[in-house]
Amino acid sequence: MPPPSTLSAGRRRRSAAPLVLGLAVLLLASLVCGVGLGAAGIGWAEVLRFLWAGLTGGTVRAGDAAAYTIVWEIRLPRTVLGAVVGAGLAAVGTAVQAMVRNALADPFVLGVSSGAAVGANAVILLGAFAGLGVWALSASAFASALAAMALVYAVARSPHGLTPLRLILTGTALAFGFEAVTTVMVFGAARGEAARAAMMWLLGSLGGATWAQVPLAAVTVAAGWAWLRVRAEALNALAMGDETAAALGVPPGRLRRELFAVTAAVT
């Protein structure tokens, strides 16, 4: 007979299955609504027909080419990328909550987003990492986010270890510092158009999303989710405290360093 813990976990999974299925249906419906709604009025029947044609490799009439382009090449990449980004932030947000044992924590609290903004602005305003071409923005944002996380970790450490409260306070304080650096870079930009592009990036927009940008985000989020899934039990132990995690054979310091890297990459 299976142990009680196994039976309890099985019951929890079965009870959660209807909720997961319902949320999946709502997500699919929201994706269709995101594609169907817009300035250009396209009927829902046409939207569904264009989506089916795009997914199955079907054909559309010559007179529908413009509407098909709007649905498949403009709206759908933005909607899909929005869903991928939301999934990534939700996943690492849960990991950060376990790391600092605070249900209100998210990747932005630890300064990850502010640190990434510094690297992104370095590309937009100063042309850094230009040799990487289309990957320059992502590479620079990831490198600066990772550097920001390392700085937060180094400052938050004390001779007695790393406490969640100290980590949150340090991350919040340094986030303001990173935002100040970003502001100085924007206002000191020599070209007004570059400053405008930097501000648009900081505000966040999916307006320029294309199919070429979806794979990188999807692969990164999938890899981060897979790692978090593998380390789920260790995260549960960490959420109960460093002493409990260590007693269960989970080194809290090493796990937090791994979480820093995953959080920086996905964010």
28 beta partners: none
pLDDT of amino acid 22: 92
161 φ/ψ angles, rounded to the nearest 5 degrees:
110, -160
pLDDT of amino acid 10: 61
- Gap between the Cα atoms of 41 and 21, Å rounded: 31
241 φ/ψ angles, rounded to the nearest 5 degrees:
120, 155
Q: Quick one: tokens of 157? A: 């450490």
Residue 9 CB coordination number (10 Å): 12
pLDDT of amino acid 7: 47
> Is the full-model pTM beyond 0.85?
no
Domains of the chain plus CATH, in order, are 76-266 (1.10.3470.10)
pLDDT along the chain (267 residues), means of 10: 52 78 91 87 87 87 87 91 92 86 80 88 85 82 89 84 82 91 86 80 80 90 93 88 87 86 86
pLDDT of amino acid 81: 93
- Gap between the Cα atoms of 47 and 29, Å rounded: 13
- Gap between the Cα atoms of 185 and 188, Å rounded: 5
pLDDT of amino acid 9: 57
